[in-house]
Structure 1
Amino acid sequence: MRADRLLSLLFLLQTHGRMSAPDLSTRLEVSVRTILRDVEALSSAGVPVWTERGRGGGIALMPNWRTDVSGFTTAEARALFSGASGTGDPQRGAWESAVRKLLAATPEGRREPFRRAATRILVEPGGWRSRQRDHPHLAELQEAVFSARRIRMRYRSAGATRTSTRTLDPLGLVAKGGVWYLVGKVADGERLFRVDRVLDVELLDDTVADDLPELAAVWARLRAEVERHDTSGTPVRMRVAVGDAGLLLRIADAQLLDEPRVVAHGEEVEITATFRALPAARAVLLGLGTTVHVLEPAELVADLVRTARDVLERYGDPGAQAE
């Protein structure tokens, strides 16, 4: 671990020039004292590095000195080729280390376009109302994919109604809309599993078959099946006060099939969104009471009225009972 850190320190100095010890400690996630010890270790190994105290000081390498050590570790190569740049990805640290090495190996005069690209382009995979999901077993699944190992996992079905244990060959991992999916081959074909529903993972000694199908082709087929299944939603047009729009969209998010369309109308906004099914729309919107005014479809409006009457009949009128 220290050897990797020393190389990272060296590449940071080679890429950025003079840097302060606190900045280096933050980037490498160690204490300032550790950074100073690492600088001494580099100096003892013959690296021309020195420390300047006072305002404008810092740690720097001798001008024009470069190292030809630019080889990637296995983890860095995996992270770089898999595009593991998103926050929360277990490979994020290895990806950053690989990028530092690439920058260090680039001549100084050609680094600025890369620096600008890194600071001016930001990719946020989730939508505005998407929730941050936990993927506690993502690192284990990545290791299974990289090492071509068969896995046994415990999986929670949609709705948390039951769990099952499955043994499968992992074809690969796909990140879509901030959600990770495992594509796996089971006895009856290829299946799609949401990583945030994986409850436990065991890497087995068996290696996966050599004749597994290509991930891209399997993913395209499975995605098409999911999209065909999700086309029969319930489009709903509704109005809500501007201040309540955010609450409505947060509550409804899990039951929507598409990105809602929001149009301002004075102190109200009109929202058009497709719910998974009419019962899902009823459950969400009835709970909001008079906060939301449903305009279409007429079927949903009639269903809300009928359900409200049924509720009133069951519980009675509290005002009438008091009289």
Structure 2
Amino acid sequence: MKIDRLVSIIMVLLDKKRIGAQELAEMFEVSPRTIYRDIDAINLAGIPIRSTAGVGGGFEIMPEYKIDKTVFSTADLSAILMGLSSLSSVVRGDELVNALAKVKSFIPAEKAKDIEIEANQILIDLSPWMGNRHIQPYLETIKAALQNRRLLSFEYTAHHGNRTVRTVEPYQLVLKSSHWYFYGYCCHRKDYRLFRLSRMSGLEMREDTFIPRDYPKPILDFEEIWAAMQTEVKIRIHKSILDRVLEYCSCGRFAPDGEEHYLVNFPLIENEYYYDILLSFGDKCECIEPLHVRNELKRRIYDLAAVYGDGLLT
């Protein structure tokens, strides 16, 4: 449920005497069912909205109710501002600017300083430190395609460097573990797919429009699947890479081994990604057991050394 949409619906109801569910749905590009859920949420928040059936019917704020700027608490407004500000750092657009302006209009002058302090206590910046410069313009293109129900075409690089040209109906932008994806129906595969933006090139919004489907939600939680696939390996690491290893496992898996090293029960899935993680720790990490993982790492290290030849350093 989008907080900025709820706030916008409240503003519309304040401005209009009565408005129908279908009109609201078209205004916010959602289904009437979503509007009914939003209205229920607004009612639960303490703003009484009355619905009238029949010709000329619709939703309206009950005439005897007078909304004022105290309807949102300091904590409510701080949370809303924090969320909208974090989105505006990566997804730009007039609607976010307008939503921020509307929320700020609810802030009483005497509470403005307190709300500003609370909103600034947590900073969420979703923009990357460095990386693919196409991500930001691609976000804007996908966002425009979502709003206008236009097809997207691009070249996609999958695992092992396989490249294919795709035409996709876009349905969702997804931010998962600091990476941007978009979810849509691939006309090439005849199925729903999750595409990582950093693997896309030549993204274009086509003139062709599409009729939206009732799409299944993307599967984003693989914790149970990964837990079944994981095996524990024991690694010995130097303290200088402790912070890096903590990105992949908790402190409870670490045990001191002298003054300079730690023994770590590291959760490993035996695939390219996880072997690359262990190798990225360089000579500050040694796999102790099991033997077959240790031998696989040795094989990969020998293969890497062979790329540079057998001679001495020069």
TM range (shorter): 0.5 to 0.7
Q: Give the equivalent residue in structure 2 for 1:142.
A: 143
Deviation at 1:293, TM superposition (A): 2.6
Q: Take 2:146 and 2:186, find their aligned partners in 1: how far apart are those partners? A: 15
Deviation at 1:209, TM superposition (A): 0.9
Q: Take 1:205 and 1:312, find their aligned partners in 2: how far apart are those partners? A: 50
Q: Take 1:88 and 1:163, find their aligned partners in 2: how far apart are those partners? A: 31
**Correspondence 1:143-292 to 2 at 5 A:** 143-159=144-160, 161-187=161-187, 188-210=190-212, 212-214=213-215, 217-219=216-218, 222-223=219-220, 228=225, 231-246=228-243, 249=245, 259-262=248-251, 263=254, 265=256, 266-277=259-270, 282=275, 285=278, 290-292=283-285
Runs of 4+ that moved beyond 4 A: 130-133, 224-227, 278-290, 304-313, 315-319
Q: Take 2:90 and 2:138, find their aligned partners in 1: how far apart are those partners? A: 11
2:91, 2:140 within 8 Å by CA — same for their partners in 1?
yes
Deviation at 1:168, TM superposition (A): 1.5
1:84, 1:92 within 8 Å by CA — same for their partners in 2?
no
Q: Take 1:296 and 1:271, find their aligned partners in 2: how far apart are those partners? A: 11
Q: Take 1:312 and 1:201, find their aligned partners in 2: how far apart are those partners? A: 38
Deviation at 1:96, TM superposition (A): 5.0
Give the stretch that moved more between structures: 147-156 or 299-308.
Answer: 299-308
> Normalising by the residue count of structure 1, what TM-score does the alignment of the two structures yield?
0.54
Structure 2 letter corresponding to 1:169: E
Residues 1:150 and 1:88: Cα distance change in structure 2 (over 3 Å) = same
Number of aligned residue pairs: 222
Deviation at 1:144, TM superposition (A): 0.5
Post-superposition Cα deviations, 1:156-203, rounded to whole Å, max 9, x if no partner, equal 2234x1321111211111111211111111242211101121212222
1:172, 1:183 within 8 Å by CA — same for their partners in 2?
yes
Q: Give the equivalent residue in structure 2 for 1:32.
A: none
Structure 2 stretches lacking a partner, 5+ long: 1-80
Give the stretch that moved more between structures: 135-144 or 233-242.
Answer: 233-242
Post-superposition Cα deviations, 1:208-266, rounded to whole Å, max 9, x if no partner, equal 214x125xx422xx3357973785244332121112445x64xxx9xxxx832343624
Structure 1 stretches lacking a partner, 5+ long: 1-79
Post-superposition Cα deviations, 1:1-26, rounded to whole Å, max 9, x if no partner, equal xxxxxxxxxxxxxxxxxxxxxxxxxx
Post-superposition Cα deviations, 1:35-77, rounded to whole Å, max 9, x if no partner, equal xxxxxxxxxxxxxxxxxxxxxxxxxxxxxxxxxxxxxxxxxxx
**Correspondence 1:285-304 to 2 at 5 A:** 285=278, 290-304=283-297
Structure 2 letter corresponding to 1:185: Y
Q: Take 2:207 and 2:242, find their aligned partners in 1: how far apart are those partners? A: 52
Q: Take 1:213 and 1:120, find their aligned partners in 2: how far apart are those partners? A: 39
Q: Take 2:164 and 2:303, find their aligned partners in 1: how far apart are those partners? A: 38
Structure 2 letter corresponding to 1:89: V
The reply to whether residue 114 of structure 1 matches residue 115 of structure 2 is yes
**Correspondence 1:14-33 to 2 at 5 A:** none
The DSSP-based 3-state class of the residue aligned with 1:120 is coil
Give the stretch that moved more between structures: 113-122 or 88-97.
Answer: 88-97
Amino-acid identity (%): 21
What is the CA RMSD across the aligned residues, in angstroms? 4.2
The DSSP-based 3-state class of the residue aligned with 1:137 is helix
